[in-house]
Chain A
Amino acid sequence: MNNTKIYQNTWPLQQLPATMKLSNLEWRFLLCADGKATVDQIQRRLGVSEKERDYILSRLCGSNLLTESIVSLEEFAKTTVDIAAPVSEPQTFIEYLKSTESPGSSTEKNMPAFSPLQKPAAAPSTARAMSLQSVIQFILNQNPDPTAGHLATYQVFMGIDTQLLKRNGITSLRFQDDRLITDPELQTAITDNIQKVLKITCPEDVFVASPPGR
Chain B
Amino acid sequence: MNADQLKIFQNITLTYFAKMASKEELPVLEEAYLQFESPVLLDYTSLVHISGSYEGCLYITTTTGVLEVLLSQHGEKEVNDITRLDMCRELSNVLAGNASRAFGADWTISVPQSVTADKISTLNLPPSTFIMPFLWKGIKSFLVVGLQTKGQS
Contact = CB atoms under 8 A, between A and B. Distances in A.
A175 B130 CA distance: 12
Interface string A152-194: 0111011110100110001111110000000000000000000
Given A147-B7, A158-B126, A162-B128, A171 B36 contact: yes
A173 B34 CA distance: 5
A172 B33 contact: yes
B99 to A, nearest CB: 16
A140 to B, nearest CB: 12
Interface residues of B, number: 21
Please report whether the interface of chain A is mostly helix, strand, loop or mixed according to DSSP. helix
A25 interface: no
Contacts of B126: 158
B144 to A, nearest CB: 11
B24 interface: no
Contacts of B6: 147, 151
A175 B128 contact: no
B3 A145 contact: yes
Contacts of A145: 3
A157 B147 CA distance: 11
A150 B133 CA distance: 14
Interface string B24-47: 000000011111111000000000
16 contacts: A147-B3, A148-B3, A150-B32, A154-B34, A154-B130, A154-B145, A158-B130, A159-B149, A160-B128, A162-B127, A166-B36, A171-B38, A172-B34, A173-B33, A173-B35, A174-B31
Contact-size category for A: 20 to 34
Contact of B36 (A148, A155, A162): A162
Contact of A150 (B35, B127, B130, B147): B130
A155 B37 CA distance: 15
A158 B147 contact: yes
Interface in A85-126: none
B79 interface: no
Contacts of A143: 3
Interface string A62-88: 000000000000000000000000000
B1 interface: yes
A158 B33 contact: no
B3 A158 contact: no
B148 interface: yes
B95 to A, nearest CB: 19
> 6 closest Cβ contacts across the A-B interface?
A148-B3, A158-B128, A173-B34, A147-B3, A154-B130, A162-B127
A169 B32 CA distance: 20
Given A147-B6, A154-B128, A158-B126, A173 B31 contact: no
B22 interface: no
Interface in B30-88: 31-38
A174 B33 contact: yes
Given A172-B33, A173-B33, A151 B149 contact: no
